[in-house]
Amino acid sequence: MELISFGSGEGKEVYRHSTSHIMAHAVKDLFPDAKLAIGPAIEEGFYYDFDRAVPFTPEDIEKIENRMKEIIKKNSPFQRKVLQRDEAIQLFKKMGEDYKVQLIQEIHDDSVSIYEEDGFADLCRGPHLPKTDRVKAFKLLSIAGAYWRGDEKNRMLQRIYGTAFENKDELKAYLDFLEEVKKRDHRKLGRELDLFSISDEIGAGLILWHPNGAIIRKVIEDFWRDEHIKADYKILYTPHIAKLNLWQKSGHLEFYKENMYSPMDIEGIAYELKPMNCPFHISIYKSALRSYRELPVRYAELGTVYRYERSGVLHGLLRVRGFTQDDAHILCREDQIEEEILNILDFTLFILRTFGFDTYDVYLSTRPEKYVGTLESWERATNALKQALEIKGLTYEIDPGEGVFYGPKIDIKIKDSLNRSWQCSTIQIDFNNPERFDMGYRGADGREHRPIMIHRALMGSLERFFGVLIEHYAGVFPLWLSPVQISVLTIAERHGDYATEIYKKFKESGIRAEINLENEKIGYKIREATVRKIPYLAIIGDKEIAEEKITVRKRNGENIGPFTADEFISIMTQEANSKN
């Protein structure tokens, strides 16, 4: 016997998996025609997949919750039974549970375990709670579609998600958190703030950047390019397609084919939409003879790539089919690896902090099952990454087997304002591509040597990073990122000429300004601009004209000023330049 508590990872899993079992019991009581698939615990709760001809409704979910409460109240014990494999198959065949039969048939052990409570039996390894009334607080959250075994060739099932906590206070806190997540949903804010859209006519997973979103993207890209030039990177631009042979040579066709699109035929030659930028950067490196004195060579590109994602996993800006990577590749000597990794870590944290991300989790991902290169190369690369992290004093976890096929990597997951983790930054050492593409440089000894290649992305995908930014700030962007930084509002039509003069001053100073001369009440104009989360409003009336000033209102409702236009331009410029 081992005592575990809800506070442990295993405790949460047992608690929530037991709740999933109770939900399956309730569904079978209410809807006997539903067939059971699987019902695991997940990070923040649990789900169960059901095969039922009629879709579950919100009213059904309420009925299931009420029946679960009745099952919990009965306080029946969970009882584990071990059956011979054939005996279990016969049991679940008799129950009409085809998915359970399939699961048992795939088990190679002689026996399997089932768990029973109050006459309901389910195939399960366990363990479970001792009794049903140990579940004190739960909530069913949503319904979604899910293919059996995650394969779109299989039947679509209905998945009911739920969560469970040790007490009602913890459950309420989590439900409040989910409400805040809904408010910050980048898809919702993207519509409200007119930032981006996805059109069925264009295609799923393909982003249309609207003017407001596009101006934010421009600001991000300008900052990115300026900082890379300062850091001695060379900016590149490369095509969106290339001959299929290129991806065969790089190894992507062998190791990454499921994420690539079907080739296109151009004059009898197979071409492919690029899933990666690295082979293009390699080609530029190889366009001239290189000397050891030139290294390191640092190439950077905001390169758009295309990857096949199944429709079921597409999610706003966070999971798309076409996206722009802030990609870079460093070609260096082996004795330069450590210094380059240290520089990249500094650069990464500088970029992330500038965008408001101060906390993060760091992972060192090691050799996967499918890999290229020698074990010696992998060990050298992994040790170089580990040493750089330790020199920087960064706490990290080992993520076994999660490296890419060509080398180990460092992944940095940023924490947003709701303390959620997002994968953005990655640093990868590659001993493979320099070999495959026969890359070289002339060393101090006059002989040819092989460079080391470092792949690196700071923000990752611009689309994904922008989605995270929207949710991090809840759409209330800092001044330097706001698509409109100030709106000039008139109280009456007679104030239009002076307001236009002020508006032009802002524009000429590089401030992203707009003007509202509509014949509407000032209260309406203020509300409309506040809903759009514009940082500052410049209000113009008789008093402002008489004093040749503006009254400034912040988006939080605080009135500041008055200021002359020049005074406030100086204040805004300083704030925008500070990027706070």
pLDDT digits 0-9 by tens, 359-388: 999 999 999 888 877 888 888 888 889 999
Residues 457 and 377 in one domain: yes
Q: Supply the pTM of this predicted model.
A: 0.89
Whether the CB-CB separation of 81 and 31 falls below 8 Å is answered with no
Half-sphere exposure of 448 (CA within 13 A, CB side): 6
Please tell me the distance from the alpha carbon of residue 396 to that of residue 392, in angstroms, as a whole number.
11
Is 110 within a domain?
Answer: yes
CATH of the domain at 542: 3.40.50.800
CATH of the domain at 108: 3.30.980.10
Q: What are phi and psi of 390, to 5 degrees?
A: -70, -35
Which residues are catalytically annotated?
Answer: 278, 307, 325, 327, 329, 409, 455
Low-confidence stretches of the chain (pLDDT < 50) are none
Residue 342 per-residue DSSP state: H
Please tell me the distance from the alpha carbon of residue 317 to that of residue 300, in angstroms, as a whole number.
23
pLDDT for the residue numbered 365: 92
Range of the domain at 105: 9-184
228 membership: H or E segment, kind and range: helix 211-230
List strand residue ranges (DSSP E) for 41-110, in order: 41-42, 45-51, 79-84
pLDDT for the residue numbered 68: 97
CATH of the domain at 395: 3.30.930.10
Structure-block tokens of residue 494: 């007679």
pLDDT for the residue numbered 395: 92
Q: Of the residues 455, 473, 491, which one is the last residue of a structural domain?
A: 473
Please tell me the distance from the alpha carbon of residue 313 to that of residue 163, in angstroms, as a whole number.
21
pLDDT for the residue numbered 102: 94
Q: What are phi and psi of 84, to 5 degrees?
A: -60, 150
CA-nearest of 102, 149, 148, 152 to 123 is: 102
Residues 550 and 419 in one domain: no
pLDDT for the residue numbered 253: 85
- Give the N- to C-terminal CA distance of the chain in Å, as an integer: 54
Is 4 within a domain?
Answer: no
Residue 475 per-residue DSSP state: T
Buried b (16+ CB within 10 A) or exposed e, 223-255: bbeebbeeeebeebebeeebebebbebbbbbeb
Residues 290 and 386 in one domain: yes
- Residue that the structure tokens 């009965």 belong to: 74
